[in-house]
Chain A
Amino acid sequence: AQSVTQLGSHVSVSEGALVLLRCNYSSSVPPYLFWYVQYPNQGLQLLLKYTTGATLVKGINGFEAEFKKSETSFHLTKPSAHMSDAAEYFCAVSDRVNTGFQKLVFGTGTRLLVSP
């Protein structure tokens, strides 16, 4: 079964610093990959997704992620953190199948803390 591992339940950065949130998946066949963000007291919203094509994916709010097949990774980055980026971030994976229902499996989440 698909699984996804997020390293670090909490990541702290200073405003203006690089943000790096790690995600590794377990699959011999590259799956579909997603990052979702959850702001306090809200549901999740999609940041970006990788399905096919270019391995560097750009999302909303200046975030991007790079699919690296050799490392089975899909790490999320942002060059310069802003206070408003403080939230919980979830990596998710879905099997690459052409038929049937594709279930999304979520990681355990990483809480990003941004200090002034």
Chain B
Amino acid sequence: DVKVTQSSRYLVKRTGEKVFLECVQDMDHENMFWYRQDPGLGLRLIYFSYDVKMKEKGDIPEGYSVSREKKERFSLILESASTNQTSMYLCASRLGTGIPGELFFGEGSRLTVL
């Protein structure tokens, strides 16, 4: 089975702290994604990556950056956390070519910024 693992299920940080959210997938997928999920807003795409060292902005990239140094790992970075970044963060991966394939999701990281 494909597994997408997010390093932290729950985090509490203070305003201004730097936050790292880690995601690892074990199926050699080219594409990886970071979404944030908020009630009433669904899933919104923050950043995605075609392949190693490739990254593209999604719909709401402000206040975030990403890193993909290895194919299996995609990190989301909040340089200076703010209270409006309190949210559920979901990582996903999929194969990169052809008809859009299934997105495989991690269990999510719930971040609270105080």
Which A positions have Cβ atoms within 8 angstroms of B? 9, 32, 36, 41-46, 49, 51, 90, 94, 101-104, 106-109
Contacts and interface: CB of A to CB of B under 8 A. Distances in A.
- B43, B56, B92 interface centre (most CB from chain A within 10 Å): B43
B42 A109 contact: yes
Interface string B74-114: 00000000000000001010000001101101111000000
Contacts of B41: 108
B48 interface: yes
A90 B43 contact: yes
Contacts of B50: 101
B52 interface: no
B45 interface: yes
B64 to A, nearest CB: 17
B103 A44 contact: yes
The 10 closest A-B pairs by CB, nearest first: A43-B105, A108-B42, A106-B43, A44-B105, A46-B102, A94-B100, A102-B100, A106-B42, A43-B107, A51-B99
Contacts of B105: 43-45
Interface in B3-58: 4, 31, 35, 40-45, 48, 50, 56, 58
